[in-house]
Chain A
């Protein structure tokens, strides 16, 4: 592991992004607007009038959607984008013929995915301000929480990418893992109140559930589960990143 080499990998991605960031900006901005309008303002009226969520469904779902945005940002970078660089462009073959090692490449890609997650989740967080989230000092640790969510999902994405033989299998990752995570991780309803205990336990040990608890806790000032969530995401991310480095080496170095 070599910090300047990891930095060079991040720099490379930054240069590519620098020429293209404006393409992503409008979707980045409007995705949260649509979600908050549809789910929060629209659906939220009927949900809130039933008396749940203290009459404010929008405030309930906003932090969870921020966490999901960070998850998506990190996931796209470390799945499709890394796979293409690995197999079609073969650019890592050239990179590791320089002093940069395969571990630097893998960690550098993770670091870049964290930056993307912060951009993605950060824009989402800013949009929630327009919809009435209070601007407060807690938005600062919220950005740190977004980065940690990005780290966990960057590591998971890289671990998956390091083992899949073909790009078609990413639909398993997105449809069969990320989509149920999105729906059953306490973003839209308290899972514990609706599902049988076995499923609840299962949901509670998934990374997005812990991410949602973390971001919601920080934004709403309820830090009860924050130490557990932080510990979970740090350990989860680090273990999978270690696995990804190991598998990437096996794939590229023969």
Chain B
């Protein structure tokens, strides 16, 4: 019996049951259950305002839950905050590096915050400067770094304590494409070393590429969970015929959906028709008079899944499309 309990504690790094966070009358997290298992890369996918950051802040002990249980490494959130934080590496959404210190000293002081002896902090700082390709910038001021370098330094800082769990809150939001790719490589490297990663993102390509398992969040709730492929296969037909409508006329799509028993999702002027045979569906639609320049076939993906689950796209906010931030 005791063995079974220990086994469970060892395999499950984070366990949330009925986890709830309210800010005044606003329910940010609505009684969610989930777990993070040792060695996995777990992604939390959802649009802005879904509750991803709040969930992560509760795990790294800077936001107290309103209700529910949250156990991390088998320890109680709040009461054991210092012991929990000792084993965590946090990469926040916004770079909050210490601009008064050099690149290397940012890492060294992080080691000291974690109680590492000075020598170990120095050694690990140098290792992580190499990992983040920042050796040449060791003595530079943080201000002088590019956006991508800052992000890599923030990632390196999160690894200073040799954490059992690394939490990355939208690690690549706002980065240039090539900088994102470089960061993905670093995260792949961490995953291959067996680190446990919990990351949030609103990019489905990032989620598909990096994560072993996903939680899909919307308005404070987990609406689906599973492996990226499994989620798509389990809920959607393999292909999507997608079109931008002409003057809102979706009749050809409705007709085909009815005939083939296929699912039709409409979001504004965009329709998606989920089908088993993409080529056949496209042919029938073209025969029915749809505009070939506005219609195409592609494999179904996480974006479709999200759209189907919530009726909105990943880049849209909780109440319709939002611009920016």
Residues of A within 8 A of B (CB): 2, 4-5, 8, 11-12, 15-16, 89-91, 93-101, 252-254
Contact = CB atoms under 8 A, between A and B. Distances in A.
A98 B101 contact: no
A100 B113 CA distance: 6
Contacts of B83: 99
Contacts of A253: 62-64
Interface string B59-84: 01111100000000000000001110
Contacts of B101: 12, 15-16
B97 A98 contact: no
A12 B98 contact: yes
Given A99-B85, A100-B113, A93 B62 contact: yes
Nearest to A94: B96
B79 to A, nearest CB: 13
Given A93-B62, A253-B64, A8 B109 contact: yes
Contacts of B112: 8, 11-12
B115 interface: yes
Contact of B115 (A4, A90, A95, A254): A4
A101 B62 CA distance: 9
B169 to A, nearest CB: 10
A5 B110 CA distance: 11
Interface of B: 23, 60-64, 81-83, 85-86, 88, 90, 92, 94, 96-101, 105, 109-110, 112-115, 157, 161
Pick the 4 closest A-B CB pairs, nearest first.
A98-B113, A97-B90, A8-B112, A94-B96
Given A11-B109, A100-B113, A89 B99 contact: yes
Given A8-B113, A98-B161, A90 B94 contact: yes
A96 B98 CA distance: 13
Contacts of A101: 81-82
18 contacts: A4-B115, A8-B109, A8-B112, A12-B112, A15-B109, A16-B101, A91-B99, A93-B92, A93-B96, A94-B97, A94-B157, A97-B60, A99-B83, A99-B86, A100-B113, A101-B81, A252-B62, A253-B62
Nearest to B82: A99
Nearest to B108: A15
B23 A99 contact: no
Contacts of B105: 15
Nearest to A13: B100
Contact of A97 (B23, B62, B98, B115): B62
